[in-house]
Amino acid sequence: MPQKKRALSKKAGTYHHGDLRRALLDATLDLIEAMGPEAFTLRAAAKAAGVSDAAPYHHFADKEALLAAVATEGFHLLAGRLQTVAKQHQHPTAIAQAMGVEYVVFAATHPSHFRVMVSRRVLRNTEHAELAASAVTAFTLVREALVAGAANVAARVREETLIFGAWALVHGFAFLAVDGHLGHIARDEPKLRELVLSAVQLMEGPPELAYG
């Protein structure tokens, strides 16, 4: 189901003696949804979580470390969903299509994670090994699926053209959903899946082809 709108007012001041790291991650996701990845500070995250200004430093050295943790979590979530849908299909093209759809649905249901994951600021971060590893895992799953799917579509077309073309299509849909340009469709998961799958199928081959 689509991710519900986070409410900062309900999060603020709720942390007492639970999982501080989780509380800070949740507060950060709230702030990013409200203001974007660049607008929040560790102090704001601490306030939203209901802890002291010094508390975040028990888990995160700075704002960049907190952003890296959010992105890492997002990549792990995305990779898990991609692996799950891949197991539901047999044909390489069907797997590629399903992964493309799942990529967009993930963005629509986890917009705060997605914004951080694809930000140039985070992707250029080389200081956090877990972030780098999780990003490589997720992107490798997508790339390998697209390569396998492309082999069944048009051998005469350069592999890079198909890979980046397919990625640009689903990435574009992801941002349309996250930025609100798809309207109610972004909040209606069945309709969103149908829209993206139809677009991917049009790109990859004749609509009468069916893959299972």
* C-alpha distances in Å from residue 109, one per residue of 14, 46, 106, 210: 24, 25, 5, 27
pLDDT at 149: 74
For 21-42, how does the pLDDT look when each residue is reduced to its tens digit (9 = 90+)? 999 999 999 999 988 877 778 9
Q: What are the pLDDT tens digits along the chain (212 aa)? A: 344 444 443 444 454 456 899 999 999 999 999 888 777 789 999 999 999 999 999 999 998 999 999 999 999 999 999 999 999 999 888 999 999 999 999 999 999 999 999 887 777 777 888 999 999 999 999 888 887 876 655 555 567 777 788 889 999 999 999 999 999 999 999 999 999 999 988 876 544 444 44
Whole-prediction pTM: 0.82
Mapped to the 3 state alphabet, what secondary structure does the chain carry? CCCCCCCHHHHCCCCCCCCHHHHHHHHHHHHHHHHCCCCCCHHHHHHHHCCCCCHHHHCCCCHHHHHHHHHHHHHHHHHHHHHHHHCCCCCHHHHHHHHHHHHHHHHHHCHHHHHHHCCHHHHCCCCCHHHHHHHHHHHHHHHHHHHHHHCCCCCCCCHHHHHHHHHHHHHHHHHHHHCCCCHHHHHCHHHHHHHHHHHHHHHHCCCCCCCC
Q: pLDDT tens digit string along 81-100? A: 999 999 999 988 899 999 99
**157, 89, 136, 154: CA torsion to nearest 10:** 0
Q: What are phi and psi of 156, to 5 degrees?
A: -75, -15
